[in-house]
Amino acid sequence: MQEESGPGMGLDNQELTSEEALQLAEVLKKKLDEQQVPSSDQESLRQMVSGLGDQRGALRLTFAQSLGAVGETAVPILCESLKHNPNVVIRRASAKTLNIIGSEKALPNLLEAFQTDPDPVVQGSSAGAMSTIGAQSIEPLLQMLTKDNCSAFQVGLINLALGFIGSKAPEAFIKATQSENAEIRIAALGALSEQIQTSRNETNVGILLNALKDQSAEVRAEAATMAGKSLEAEEYQCLTELLHDTDSQVRKNAALALMKMDGVQAIESLNNAVKKEEDEQVKAVFKVATTQLARRIE
């Protein structure tokens, strides 16, 4: 996006005094109360963006709501402030306001802010805005998971955003469950978790059963946990094989899933697995699961 040039037009050159911000907020609040769209000329937009840096939370909210009411017209200036404003409060509020608007046009700038802004709140608000945009954000968010410089904090934010999108557009993740990248498969599975738990159709069950046999231990572990929330007790057999998995976390998750789904028919399998288990931590989980299941048939 190109910045407008001219005297006093820079994003950081126009600051409102405390009194100016209060007066402008009062005018804008009145317009919002009367369901009128605020003025959307460049000068008005810049004043509202400047107001996003006010220390008074109620005023910041009025400015954000006003820019949100302007809608698409405010997207370019909000993207510029998100990328370049030195005031972190304004960058945070810009991302939150873009969340209100939910315009796909902001996606490239939100992605950039998510990846490069050092402030965790800006990253979180950018991820939130991308989740509001919806299905168009899925592919770039999934691709970010494959980058070596993606931090654990960012991975968490991405999974939250994808989960939000998945609850509204689950069909967009089905292809991603077949990705060659294990991180993407895990994220797609997580995004589909609500859909899998609430809808027992052939596609959803098939996705979960395939994930239980995935070549990646992390995917199998995630799928085992999900199975405990999604499958019926009589479907316990798809988990008993995982009690002998090569990965200890998968074995633990399988036992805990059997316990959660009341798979009392799996008690014998758990007893057999305990005898063969060499990892004391896993063995302890097996014993807890067996004890809990036994109590449910007393």
Domain ranges of the chain: 1-133
Per-residue pLDDT, 229: 87
Per-residue pLDDT, 10: 40
pTM exceeding the 0.75 threshold for the entire prediction = no
Per-residue pLDDT, 9: 36
Per-residue pLDDT, 154: 93
Per-residue pLDDT, 15: 79
> With a cut of 70, which residues of the chain have pLDDT below it?
1-14, 200, 298
Length of the chain: 298
Per-residue pLDDT, 133: 94
> How confident is the model over 170-192, as pLDDT tens digits?
777 888 888 888 989 998 888 88
Per-residue pLDDT, 14: 61
- Residues 6 or more apart from 250 whose CB is under 8 A from it? 217, 220, 221, 224, 242
- CB–CB of 100/65 below 8 Å? yes
- Both tokens of residue 137? 């954000």
CA 60 to CA 13: how far, in whole Å? 19
